[in-house]
Amino acid sequence: SEKLYTASPHLVNGLQARIFGVWTMLASVIRCLCAIDIRNRTLYYITLFTFFLALVHFLSEVFIYHTAALTIGIMAPLMVASFSILGMLIGLQYLDVEVPSQNKKKN
C-alpha cells in the first residue's frame, strides 16, 4: 500500500492494506486456476472479471478518490490489467476451438 497510495497515504490504514493483500491473493489463485484449466469458460470469465475489477479499482483511486498518483507503482498494475484484459478478450475466440487428439486413428 505504501507504493500504491502515495497521493494521500494518511487515508489508508493497516486494515485496508490487509484487505487489499487478501484480494490480491484471491485474484492470483483464481488466475492460476484459470491458467491450469484454460478451457473452463466460467473460470475464464471470472478471471477476466478480476482484471476488470482491478483496472476499475486503480483508476478510481487515481481519478475519483485521489489516493494514488500516476507513479510506476500504480502504472504497473494498470498496464498489467489492461494488457491482460486485451489478451483475454482476444483469447476468448479460441476457447471453443477443439484441439485434435493424438489418440484418434487416421483414416
| 91-102 per-position pLDDT tens digit | 999 987 766 666
- Per-residue model confidence (pLDDT) at position 16: 87
Domain boundaries, the chain: 14-105
- How far are the Cα atoms of 22, 66, 68 from residue 17, in angstroms, in the given order? 9, 16, 13
Residue 19's identity, in one-letter code, is: I
Exposed / middle / buried, residue 88 (Cβ in 10 Å: 0-12, 13-18, 19+): middle
Which one, of 62, 52, 56, 57, lies nearest residue 31 by Cα?
A: 52
Question: Taking residues 41-63, what's their average pLDDT?
Answer: 96
- Per-residue model confidence (pLDDT) at position 99: 61
Please state which of the ranges 26-35, 45-54, 61-70 shows the lowest mean pLDDT. 61-70
68: left (phi over 0), alpha (psi -120 to 50) or beta: beta
8 A C-beta contact, residue 68 and residue 16: no
SS3 32: helix
- Per-residue model confidence (pLDDT) at position 19: 92
Which pTM was predicted?
Answer: 0.84
